[in-house]
Structure 1
Amino acid sequence: MKLKVYTVNSFAKTIEGGNPAGVVLDADSLSDESMKKIAGAIGFSETAFVMKSESAHFKVRFFTPEEEVELCGHATIATFYVLLSKGLIKPGVFLQETKAGILSVEVREDSSIMMEQNAPSFYEIVNRKEIADSLNINENEMIDILPVQVVSTGLRDILIPVKSIDILNSIKPNFEEVSQISSKYNTIGYHVFTFESLFGSNAHCRNFAPLYGIREEAATGTSNGALACYLYKYGNTKTKCDHQFVMEQGYSMKKPSEIIVELIVEGLEVIEVKVGGKVLNLSEIEVEI
């Protein structure tokens, strides 16, 4: 049996940029094993499976080539762009049921997509030396006034500040150690960033999630949502009124990506996180199942 899969590049800054995701519509009849097999055959970091929902407009499940994850930012962006492109929805606000909860997605008139993530949760401060050793860098190449910390807006990531783009680009991770440490802290992986940028963005990033079969990812919606909240919490914005962030990612992979994050703040507390951007390169492939 052949199954149609849509592919797009989410958060694309250029035609060759962004993070590719697969999208399967009308996936209600597929078993968990079939979805995992399809995700593995496509080979992207995540594939989204769209189903009917009794509590939202759509139910969406996300699979890496290795296993299911609760939420995926770039695959959510891809999903709603495909639904829009196929005339199944119009610009507006929709609810998606995920394993991370029921979250809203805004489809804007310019075809950009913004997804709601959870309000931030801040967890363990992580030992700097074990992180530095696993990335094959020195501790003094990390920004010492900022913590290495587990943060989540839906998925747990270890956020790691380094001093420059040169340091960031020089990183050659020990992927076995990164996987072990990710498992130890019950996280998806590492989101490494610097305040140096190429285009005046808030941060320039790389993301490593080998525990889930993703050595490096070109654009990571959930991680950058968490990063914006981290930057807001620790005062690394021009003022506490700065609630919109732009993150660069994927340049080390020659897949230039731009992720927009908007924080909704009451008092000084982040109560809502929106992450999104542009999508390019819609195409269709067939997978044998």
Structure 2
Amino acid sequence: MEILRYAAFTERPDGGNPAGVVLDADGLTSGEMQAVAADLGYAESAFLSRRRPGSATVRYFAPEAEIPFCGHATIATGVALAERDGPGTLALSTSVGVLALTTARVDGRLVASLETVEPWVDTMDPGRRADLLRHLRLAEDDLSADLPVLLSFAGNVHPIVPVRDAGVLRALDYDYDGLRALMAAEGWGATVAVVHRLAPDVFEARNPFPPGGVREDPATGSAAASLGAYLRARGEVVPPGVLTVHQGADVGRPSLITVGIPATGGLTVSGGAVRIAA
């Protein structure tokens, strides 16, 4: 078994979000995949099986649990495959549906793009909202006056929590155990997207990830897609549009995620990835 290591949504090995990638996982059990992910300690790792020309199946594991969908590990997988087989398009079967994964050379580097499943956006129960803010250690006056706290799905359910300014985002220091318990009770298996708007189509984000056993995710493709769905549902962007999300600087791994927002349907998450030495 060859375990590849890539940093996604970056052009440098010490940036972005690291992911493990196993391109031939047909002989691995779920327990063995979980053990590999735990040993790597990355936010997620991707395991491909049933590879055929133009298609494959993928499963994602965080250090402590299997995750339905992961954006950055998918981007890493796309670049890893393109480096071996050349750019192209792959129908990737995941537990949330079939995704189109496309790679191309852009300005001399490989860029991968995935199209998400159909997103949705919903309100949050007031009690759960209060619990969420309590565990994030955020007060009402820490929040954006213009953008509400909502749930958004584009492969994973992400609470979207817009805050009023960069100072609140920088100071984020949440209750890990309390947030972990709340997310488990609610079935929120990915990250909470705490975001701050820099421009109409530019945000910075921090993403606590206790369900996966990770304090903070450096780059979260599924959360960026969910933020794009949130903005589209609220009429905050005019499709077709492009959302840029800066993430990871607060944990020393700056990343850049691009989300294409069409008028309807799934969103397109794009980024590069670079190999990390073992």
1:121 corresponds in structure 2 to: 120
Q: Does residue 26 of structure 1 match 2:20?
A: no
CA distance in structure 2 between the partners assigned to 1:284 and 1:220 by the alignment: 22
Distance change in 2, residues 1:62/1:114 (3 Å): same
User: What is the TM-score when the length of structure 1 is the normalising length?
Assistant: 0.88
> 1:250: Cα distance to partner?
0.4
CA distance in structure 2 between the partners assigned to 1:226 and 1:145 by the alignment: 18
Match of 1:40 among 28, 38, 51: 38
> 1:212: Cα distance to partner?
2.0
Distance change in 2, residues 1:27/1:173 (3 Å): same
Q: Which moved more, 1:148-157 or 1:45-54?
A: 45-54
Amino acid paired to 2:156? L
Amino acid paired to 2:183? S
CA distance in structure 2 between the partners assigned to 1:246 and 1:209 by the alignment: 21
2:139 corresponds in structure 1 to: 138
Unaligned runs of 5+ in 2: none
> 1:284: Cα distance to partner?
5.2
Note the 1:1-289 alignment, pairs <5 A: 3-12=1-10, 14-52=12-50, 57-85=55-83, 87=84, 89-110=85-106, 111-127=110-126, 128-187=129-188, 188-196=190-198, 202-237=202-237, 240-241=238-239, 243-265=241-263, 270-280=264-274, 282-283=275-276, 285=278
CA distance in structure 1 between the partners assigned to 2:22 and 2:60 by the alignment: 10
CA distance in structure 1 between the partners assigned to 2:121 and 2:270 by the alignment: 22
Unaligned runs of 5+ in 1: none
Runs of 4+ in 1 over 2 A off after TM superposition: 13-16, 53-56, 126-132, 144-147
Is the CA contact (8 Å cut-off) linking 1:56 and 1:97 kept in structure 2? no
Count of matched residue positions in the alignment of Structure 1 and Structure 2? 272
Q: Which moved more, 1:54-63 or 1:108-117?
A: 54-63
Amino acid paired to 2:191? G
Is the CA contact (8 Å cut-off) linking 1:112 and 1:279 kept in structure 2? yes
User: What is the TM-score when the length of structure 2 is the normalising length?
Assistant: 0.92
Distance change in 2, residues 1:31/1:284 (3 Å): farther
Is the CA contact (8 Å cut-off) linking 1:45 and 1:64 kept in structure 2? yes
Is the CA contact (8 Å cut-off) linking 1:13 and 1:258 kept in structure 2? no
Helix, strand or coil: the match of 2:34? helix
Helix, strand or coil: the match of 1:27? coil
